[in-house]
Amino acid sequence: MTKYPLPIYVQRFFTERLATQLRASPNTVASYRDTFRLLLKYASDRFGRAPTDLQVAEIGAELVGDFLDFVETTRGNGARSRNTRLSAIRSFFKYVAANEPQLLHHCQRVLAMPSKRHDKRAINYLNRAEIEALIAAPDIASWFGRRDRTLLLLALQAGLRVSELINLTCSDVVLGSGAHVRCMGKGRKERSTPLRKDCVKTLRTWLAERVGADAEPLFVSNRGDRLSRDAVERIVRKYADIALSKCPTMKTKRVTPHVLRHSAAMQLLQNGVDRTVIALWLGHESVETTQMYIHADIQLKEKAMTNTTPVGTPTGRYRPNDELIAFLEAL
């Protein structure tokens, strides 16, 4: 009986498939890595053997199903996290199926496992007053305040993902005529986003103070290191708490870097920008992804409501009485 050692295929999957063929982003690699660390530990405990002794055939649909239940019940993860783990496992078994036809039936059983349905809540975003309060929160008398205000303004205007924001270099900002910012988005797709005059002015001032080489990070810590995701999250949370005193409506909202991205999209939508343009602006793979902003826009729904007829209102066109008709005909 032919054996298919699991370690060989896992290592090839990460080095050949993800790193070389797909050139997956560091975030994707890290997510897949965490999934397999959990899965291998779970399988190792189940079979009482070290992960290096496991076979591909032992990681079947039944074990994967039990693992996903474990992720939800024991680890307390939600359906979204469960589906993310399943997506990583599916990707691995697609790779195995393509390279080992003998394992095709085994892989198909895993690939046939459905994602778990979950509630889709309306997105959270900041309105205009909340955006202005957040941008005004940093103290620009300090270096940190000037850096943070520039970061917040750029995030709210360009709608960048946090990974795109922290990976910007000084040369990615192009000022002057046709000012824009370049970034590398999901799927290694580069895109350029135009900048407003207020954002251009702030970035020009920051770049003059930053004095960084073209390849150096645009936003750095006080030690000169590139900001981490956690650092950006702390920055956003800090100024959201400060802005709360001037804008009490923010109390009901959990403000994160991704909420700033949603806020940028909603500002575009509410100002009449077509959703295909918004999809290009945000770097969405499909225009359908942008549909969620239309669902979340209460102003758009209120505007549509004004075009409806209240219940009980007589229908039909207005018709004058006979005396008026007679008057007009007599003219």
- Is 284 tagged catalytic? yes
> Which of the residues 85, 147, 210, 261 is marked catalytic?
261
Under DSSP, the state recorded for 72 is: H
- Is 293 tagged catalytic? yes
Contacts of residue 229, defined as CB under 8 A and 6 or more positions apart, other chains included, come to 162, 163, 166, 257
Q: Phi first, then psi: what are they for 283, rounded to 5°?
A: 80, 35
Coil/strand/helix, residue 190: strand
- DSSP codes of every residue in 294-327: HHH-HHHHHHHHTTSPPTTPPPS-----HHHHHH
- Is 226 tagged catalytic? no
> Which of the residues 82, 106, 149, 284 is marked catalytic?
284
> Which of the residues 186, 191, 238, 246 is marked catalytic?
186
- Is 180 tagged catalytic? no
- Signed CA dihedral, 50, 51, 52, 57: sign only: positive
- Is 94 tagged catalytic? no
> Which residue, 23, 51, 33, 45, is CA-closest to 89?
33
Length of the chain counted residue by residue: 331
- Is 120 tagged catalytic? no
> Which of the residues 9, 42, 125, 293 is marked catalytic?
293
> Which of the residues 85, 149, 161, 275 is marked catalytic?
161
Q: Which residues are catalytic?
A: 161, 186, 258, 261, 284, 293
